[in-house]
Amino acid sequence: MEQVVKDLLRKVQQGEETVFDVVKDVSGENPKMQLVVTSKKLNPEPPPVPVKAESPKRVHGFGSIDGFVKYITKYKSDDTVILADPIKQIVQCVLNEKAANGFEVLTYKPIVHPLYSAWKAVLKQQIEVTEFVKFLIQMKRTIVNPTSDSLTLLFSQIKAAKNMTVHKGVGAKTINGIICEIEIMGTGLDKQEAHLPDSILIHVPVFCDSESINVNLDLMLSVDQDNDIFVTMASSDAMTAEIATFEQYVAKLNAIDPEHVTCSLGEVRHQGWDYLRSNNG
């Protein structure tokens, strides 16, 4: 019997199972217990169908105004809301404001053009004049007025002259002290001294999907104690150009469907819900 059990355990075939049953034989005068060993074929249940996971939450971000307009035009509804923030330079869109199970906020963030970004990066920075000349050479194709060649030459051969005058006066309306007059001059194409310009006009696109426009940059020159000359640029036109270009994009969004799509200045904000404490214990 022991050998039979070993053989059954050792020779179990794939798809079969060995069943041991202990039964009581009462057919004779002396009932006895018997071990019944049988082999059965398995009837396995079919494997469960795998449950497909839901797709991750969609968060569409656009860098092209034309693609953004096309997407909204295709999927818009009467409950579509578009909010634009010209200061943060971002547009948000909710395709279905009344969606019961949450909604996706589409965003459009214009990509700043590298040429405009390079000029903007040096605004309000004090740059040593030789470094400024190198920058002008790199950006020469964007300079409109003065011409890039004349501008580079002026700043390449620049000098500063100081005239110090000591005043010693007596009386109520006199000047006392030292007056320091600084004149910074450049050398022009004709080898003659020339006054440096107080502004530069550049022609660049503000965003990657916008047309090139003129932007005026103001120049300020300064001299330190070691007679080193520095250039500082500032521009109110830069911010104006950004907002004006952004407003053109908002105008395109307003034209999608003025009667059904709500378009305005603003932003989409989220805030957590406040829950009242239950009185049911």
φ, ψ for residue 124, nearest 5 deg: 65, 15
Amino acid at 31: P
User: Does an H or E element contain 178, and which?
Assistant: strand 177-187
Burial class for 133, CB neighbours closer than 10 Å (0-12, 13-18, 19+): buried
φ, ψ for residue 225, nearest 5 deg: -65, -25
* Residue 159 DSSP label: E
pLDDT of residue 116: 93
pLDDT of residue 201: 92
pLDDT of residue 74: 92
Q: By the 8 A CB rule, do 115 and 142 touch? A: yes
Q: By the 8 A CB rule, do 198 and 219 touch? A: yes
Pairing of strands 262-265, 81-85: parallel
C-alpha pair distances (Å), 131 with each of 41, 137, 184, 207, 216:
87, 10, 17, 26, 21
Pairing of strands 61-62, 81-85: unpaired
What is the sign of the dihedral through the CA atoms of 91, 96, 100 and 103?
Answer: negative
Q: By the 8 A CB rule, do 90 and 109 touch? A: yes
User: Does an H or E element contain 131, and which?
Assistant: helix 129-138
Taking the C-alpha atoms of residue 109 and residue 152, their distance in angstroms, rounded to an integer, is 35
Question: What's the Rg (C-alpha) of the chain?
Answer: 41
Taking the C-alpha atoms of residue 84 and residue 90, their distance in angstroms, rounded to an integer, is 6
3 state SS of 248? helix
Taking the C-alpha atoms of residue 119 and residue 123, their distance in angstroms, rounded to an integer, is 7
> What are the residue boundaries of the structural domains of the chain, listed by start?
2-41, 61-111+245-265, 114-167+175-235
Taking the C-alpha atoms of residue 235 and residue 120, their distance in angstroms, rounded to an integer, is 9
Give the contacts of 161 (CB within 8 A, at least 6 positions apart): 182, 183, 184, 185
pLDDT of residue 114: 93
Beta-bridge mates of residue 159: 185
Amino acid at 155: F
Q: By the 8 A CB rule, do 213 and 246 touch? A: no
Give the contacts of 193 (CB within 8 A, at least 6 positions apart): 185, 186, 187
pLDDT of residue 180: 42
Polymer length in residues for the chain: 281
Q: Which residues of the chain have pLDDT under 50?
A: 160-167, 176-184, 186-193
3 state SS of 185? strand
